[in-house]
Structure 1
């Protein structure tokens, strides 16, 4: 749809109905922006189907995006919500994904925009409040697929990624279908960079007593988050794969700001590079930006999801604004 020669620059609502969301495209067709009639907005780069902006009605940005992020398709985007598939990090010991680049190829492929749904076409609760859903697709036959995918992961697949904006929440969901004759293993992650004012004032609840893998402490990586204090804080480089029981809440200065709810995602990665690591990452700018971001990343990454031929893996996150 997004590549049509005479594609309209704006998709509008049906005449005579209450005000609905509008969806517009950039001049170069590289990104899609949706705005609710109440002012909330979301912007998605077709490269990686990466959410690069989510603003509330007052225009306050909720996602952190590096000042040096590449938005031209030359490399994965640093910030926003990149989509990780079919491997988290690297897996040199896993036969199917050992040759894939870090975090796979979904975030480095150009997705197709499949269309929008608004509250005028939705049912149930969503029909009673301003809502817009944007759908994106990527398959093994897609022209925008990263060449490394077919070279190093030769399975037939079809991904549908949906971004749903409400007045107080953003939902990102994925369906990964196996169209191959053989089963494949995969890992999936929503690599969400939340914007915060000061990381030293951030408290994370919902992780108490949860087991986690500490990627920073190679000598003793398998740990359990203490039950007390109930809230976890960030005081240095942090890279942990948690398996929490329920929702995760991010507060700042004692005021809850975000609640992250998961569907079929058993893990939550919590990441902040802190000062030294931030200085070492070329596209992390400003270097003091680690103070203003916290990655809370729902996914299925502690093990492998085996998807049989003709079957699919589905997962979703919803980030709800609390302040």
Structure 2
């Protein structure tokens, strides 16, 4: 394995001495999920289909931080609308031709593959606060025949989801296990829950160049200190110099999204017409209660040679 100097920092602590987190596998087949709950009540749920985080509750389990469509498919029939889907090895529609990902569906296959639950680890810090880390894996043999045929390259992914009292860390490790080098893109498609999108502002993007997919993929620069969502929004902010993007509502901090070894962030909200046109988006006015702040590496391609490893992720801090 090739180590890189700035790997995402682990949320580790001394061994636990008090009551530890509870981890259960709930359900069976395509609908099975891993549920972890801290002694203080905070919880996270991860569907094995896509390793999709479908719920993250803070404040003793009272506050749901992620938006999940009322019509989200949770039975393995299609990608989950909401939560935190994992996008790999291509973001958005693939290149039309001439690229190894060109035959893949939009957003690749990681979010529509069944992952393996690799295990858990728990810890407790000096103040008695617990954390729990859940590890999931996906490798070449675990994807569908169609995906394997479309992208016949040998890889292994490890996805770590770490829950603390006031944060959620999600980190993906990509390893090239074949003889041939490959290129990929990666994104964590996070749907954050808000009360009223008209009162939401997003900070930390001032001066950053972005591609506006609503405006025919033209390039612009963020001129305002705060981004306000006033209509359909689909922007790829590139090479962001600072690590933290902040989400506020009515001037009050809601979330800090901290990138680790990832330079890009997508901000997305479908607004009225696009929300109504998506069969798995519900309620139709659900766009008022969500905003996607999606960390990733999607401007261009990451290349891994034989045996090399890429690792990147995020820490979302709940500030409620």
Whether the TM-score (by the shorter chain) exceeds 0.5 is yes
| 2-structure distance, mates of 1:86, 1:133 | 24
Q: In structure 2, what is the equivalent of residue 136 of structure 1? A: 136
Structure 2 equivalent of residue 272 of structure 1: 269
Give me the whole-angstrom Cα distance separating, in 2, the residues matched to 1:316 and 1:268. 11
Distance 1:307 1:36 in 2: 37
Pairwise CA distance, 1:95:
1.5
1:119 aligns to 2:123 (yes or no): yes
Identify the residue that residue 12 of structure 2 maps to in structure 1.
none
Does the Cα contact within 8 Å between 2:84 and 2:191 map onto a contact in 1? yes
- What is the correspondence of 1:48-59 to structure 2 with a 5 Å cutoff? 48-56=50-58, 57-59=60-62
Between the aligned partners of 1:63 and 1:203, the Cα distance in structure 2 is 17
Contact 1:119 1:126 in 2 (8 A): no
The equivalent of 2:63 in structure 1 is 60
Match of 1:233 in 2: 228
Q: Which residue of 1 aligns with 2:184?
A: 186
Q: Distance in 2 between matches of 1:79 and 1:184?
A: 29
Equivalent pair of 1:88/1:103 in contact (CA under 8 Å): yes
Q: 3-state SS of the aligned residue for 1:186?
A: strand
Q: Tell me how far 1:58 sits from its aligned partner.
A: 4.0
Out of 93, 96, 99, the residue aligned to residue 100 of structure 2 is 96
Residue in structure 2 matched with residue 310 of structure 1 by the alignment: 307
SS in 2 for 1:232: strand
Which of 295, 298, 307 aligns to 1:298? It is: 295
Secondary structure of 2:227's match?
coil
Q: State the aligned residue count.
A: 299
SS of the equivalent of 1:200 reads: helix
Name the SS of the counterpart of 1:131 in structure 2: strand
- Other-structure match for 1:45: 47
* Structure 1: distance between partners of 2:100 and 2:85: 22
Contact 1:108 1:146 in 2 (8 A): no
Residue 35 of structure 2 corresponds to residue 33 of structure 1: yes
Within a 5 Å distance, the mapping from 1:73-112 to structure 2 comes to 73-91=76-94, 92-112=96-116
Provide the secondary structure at the position in 1 that maps to 2:138: strand
Structure 1: runs of 5 or more not aligned: 1-15
Partners of 1:86 and 1:126 lie apart in 2 by 39
Deviation at 1:264, TM superposition (A): 1.1
Return 5+ residue gaps in structure 2 as ranges.
1-15
CA distance in 2, matches of 1:129, 1:151: 46
Native 8 Å contact 1:84 1:190 kept in 2: yes
Distance between the aligned counterparts of 2:144 and 2:278, measured in 1? 23
If asked which structure has higher relative contact order (CA below 8 Å, sep 6+), I would say: 2
Deviation per CA, 1:66-119, whole angstroms, max 9, x where unpaired?
A: 000000000000000000000001222452000100000000000000000000
Runs of 4 or more off by more than 4 Å in structure 1? 125-128
Change over 3 Å in CA distance of 1:208–1:183 after alignment to 2:
same
Find the aligned partners of 2:126 and 2:42 in 1 and give their Cα distance: 15
Give the aligned partner of residue 245 of structure 1: 241
* Equivalent in the alignment of 2:7: none
Measured on the aligned residues, the alpha-carbon RMSD in Å equals 1.4
